[in-house]
Amino acid sequence: MKASFSKYIIVGAGLSGLTTAYQLAKMGETDFVILESRDRLGGRIFTNDGIDFGATWFQTHHHNVLQFVEELGLSKFHQYNKGQNVLVYSTMAPAHYFESDPNAPSAYRVSGSSSALIEKLSEPVKNKICLETAVSGISEQGNTLMITTDKGDYRAEKVIITIPPKIATRITFTPELSEVVQREMDSTHTWMSNAMKVGMTFKKPFWREKNLSGTVIGQVGEVTELYDHSNSEDANFALMGFINEALRDYSSEERKKRILDYLVKYLGEQVLEYLTYEEKDWSQDCNTSCERLKSVYMSPSYGNPVFSKMYMKDKLFFSGAETSPVYGGYMDGAIYTGLIAAKKVVSNRNNSD
């Protein structure tokens, strides 16, 4: 079967890949295809029951996200932080209650969830996306690259790898990338790969009625962070946060019991009146994590210069949150590299014509 040809192929339909596609379309480029191994768009932006189980917040200095939110006709709102926060710092002492500085701006969230960003970005390029298409090999063939997938072969002048570098090591490159590049790909921590999140919806925000913000910071115990995750209209009420990774060793039933018992202790019995309860363990997502899972508790180093270079005779590019020298590991970094990648591939192609 003959390989289909495109000028550009984007590997990955997460925030960075969709940003590149969106930008290419804005630049008048229409000859491209996006290959996505998942059965959905968004990558590590994933929303269910109105709860963001992946990328959630951005700050005032994340100018690329702010610009896109405005450009795409979306809106933003502040993370709810009124009332007392709970700090659990010892199993031997009572929790510490404190209020956030009212003059300090809280983080932003996208109205309608982070997935609203994905939906808007993908609208003009929906017909260019191939879901459930996993790339296994990329090889040079003259002036083009051959992309091998489980759904057939593709050929392109330029390929942009937007999936996490560690996940991209599963692709066989012919000729091989240098040892330096391979080593950096393998050693770059994948954001969210070790995270576990929990989300619960409620009929009403009972914590607010107790003058609690919904924020729980657990230096010990089952929940490491929890936040009010109600929507921007205050019509749907929720709590969302991160689970202690040690709970991965328990059954789902025992883990849920421990989490609820912990939250009852600090927020009250009304926690048990949840409408929905869901967990997301990103370590079980083969498109995000791998068997060699490594927990990282300090901010990992992102944006290694090897990812800003072009490979396979200037036909292969990297982008994505982990490759960004600007706010690497954040949505802002993913957007930044997506924009840069689009400009680089078009400029490079035009210069070589």
Indicate the average pLDDT of the chain.
94
For the domain made up of 76-110+194-284, give the CATH fold. Polyamine Oxidase; Chain A, domain 2 (3.90.660)
Token pair recorded at residue 205: 């925000």
Q: In the predicted model, is pLDDT for residue 294 greater than 70?
A: no
Q: Calculate mean pLDDT across residues 294-305.
A: 73
Q: pLDDT confidence of 299, banded at 50, 70, 90?
A: low
> Mind listing the pLDDT tens digit for each residue in 314-351?
999 999 999 999 999 999 999 999 999 999 999 876 76
Q: In the predicted model, is pLDDT for residue 254 greater than 70?
A: yes
Q: In the predicted model, is pLDDT for residue 73 greater than 70?
A: yes
Q: In the predicted model, is pLDDT for residue 102 greater than 90?
A: no
pTM listed for this prediction: 0.95
Q: Calculate mean pLDDT across residues 244-257.
A: 96
Q: Any residues with CB less than 8 A from the CB of 101 and at least 6 apart, and which?
A: none
Q: Calculate mean pLDDT across residues 175-185.
A: 97
Q: In the predicted model, is pLDDT for residue 295 greater than 80?
A: no
For residue 353, the model assigns a pLDDT of: 59
4-46+116-190+299-352 and 76-110+194-284: identical CATH topology:
no
Superfamily of structural domain 4-46+116-190+299-352:
FAD/NAD(P)-binding domain (3.50.50.60)
Q: Where in the chain are the domains?
A: 4-46+116-190+299-352, 76-110+194-284
